[in-house]
Structure 1
Amino acid sequence: MNFSSWPALLVVDVEGNGANPPDLVEVAVLPVRDGHPDTSTAGAWLTRPARPVTPFAARVHGLTNDVLQDQPGWQDIKDAVHERLGTAWIAAHHAHVDHRVLSAHLPQWRPAGVIDTLRLARAAYPGLPKYSLDALIEHLQPDLSGAPGQRHRATFDAYATARLLLTMAARYESWDQLVAAAVPPGLPGAPEPEQEPTLW
């Protein structure tokens, strides 16, 4: 895989308050450049949700209402997040979720495409018992020594997802092959289905 041929790509991860639909409590945006996660230009934001964090969500990511009470509200950071995302491709694990939540919070945002590392893992490694982020970390053993924070925080999970993406991408010869395997139908960047030839 020639990583220099990739378009602008940002690995994203979001954490929510546990409500349905969720309010955001954390967003991480990690550029991938020339086959490496670029932590020097990454963006990360904590935000105080409009509705309280549920006890279950707080147990998962550790972001309690007390931790977030002095953080800015979404209206105060949304422009910065939108500017950071721009129109680049994004990648995420179980990307439907991140794309849906970010789109709900940023109605004007339109990524060029959406890579799903969960979909990619199923294509690259058929037959694994599980395809969760933890299961793939255990199976592929990516180098996470440079990961910021801890598991279930957006910065750590974005870094782990980036490392997994790069490991799996090495199994493909081109960006187009990667896209064909990794972009879910109906999301931006999905290849157009081939049209059946007709007589007319």
Structure 2
Amino acid sequence: MNFSSWPSLLVVDVEGNGTNPPDLVEVAALPVREGQPDTSTAGAWLTKPRHPVTPFAARVHGLTNERLEREPSWEEIADQVHMLLGVSWICAHNAHVEYRVLSAHLPQWRPAGVLDTLRLAKVTYPDLPKYSLDALIERVQPDLSAAPAQRHRATFDAYATAQLLIAMAAHYDTWDQLVAAAVPPGLPGAPKPEEEPTLW
């Protein structure tokens, strides 16, 4: 895979407050450049949700209402997040979730395309019993020594997802092949089905 052929791409991860639909409590956006995660230009934000964090969500990511009390509201950071995301491609694990939540919080934003490492893993490793982020980390054994924070925090999960994407991309020769394997139907960037030939 020639990584220099890739368009601008950020691996994103979000954490929510546990409600449905969720309020965001953390967003991470990690650029991938030349086949490496670029932590020097990454963005990470904590935000105080409109509605309290549920006990279950706090147990998962460790972000309690007390921890978030003095963080900015979403309205205070939305423009910064939108500016970093721009019109780049994004990648996430089970990307429908990140795309849906970010789109709800950034109505004017639309990425160039959406790669899903969950979908990509099912094509790349068709015989795995599970395709969770933890299962893929165990299978691929990426180097996470430089990952910030810990599992279930947005910065860690974005870094882990970036390393998984880079590892799986090595199984494909071109960006177009990667897109065909990794973009879910109906999301931005999905290859358009070939039109049936007509007589006219």
Range of TM-score over shorter length: over 0.9
Alignment partner, residue 187 of structure 1 = 187
Q: Distance in 2 between matches of 1:56 and 1:139?
A: 28
| Post-superposition offset of 1:104 | 0.0
Alignment partner, residue 178 of structure 1 = 178
Unaligned runs of 5+ in 2: none
| Post-superposition offset of 1:17 | 0.2
What is the letter of the counterpart of residue 12 of structure 1?
V
Q: How many pairs were matched up? A: 200
Q: Is structure 2 residue 11 aligned with structure 1 residue 21?
A: no
Alignment partner, residue 81 of structure 1 = 81
- Give the TM-score normalised by the residue count of structure 1: 0.99
1:151-171 alpha-carbon deviations (Å, 9 max, x no partner): 000000000000000000000
| Post-superposition offset of 1:198 | 1.5
1:72-124 alpha-carbon deviations (Å, 9 max, x no partner): 00000000000010000000000000000000000000100000000000000
Alignment partner, residue 127 of structure 1 = 127
Alignment partner, residue 6 of structure 1 = 6
| Post-superposition offset of 1:196 | 1.4
Q: Distance in 2 between matches of 1:157 and 1:146?
A: 12
1:1-200 aligned within 5 A = 1-200=1-200
Percent of matched pairs sharing the same residue: 79
| Post-superposition offset of 1:127 | 1.6
| Post-superposition offset of 1:195 | 1.2
Matched position secondary structure for 2:130: coil
- Give the TM-score normalised by the residue count of structure 2: 0.99
Unaligned runs of 5+ in 1: none
| Post-superposition offset of 1:6 | 0.2
| Post-superposition offset of 1:48 | 0.1
Matched position secondary structure for 1:172: coil
- Deviation above 2 Å: which 4+ runs of structure 1? none
Matched position secondary structure for 1:193: coil
Q: Distance in 1 between matches of 2:4 and 2:83?
A: 23
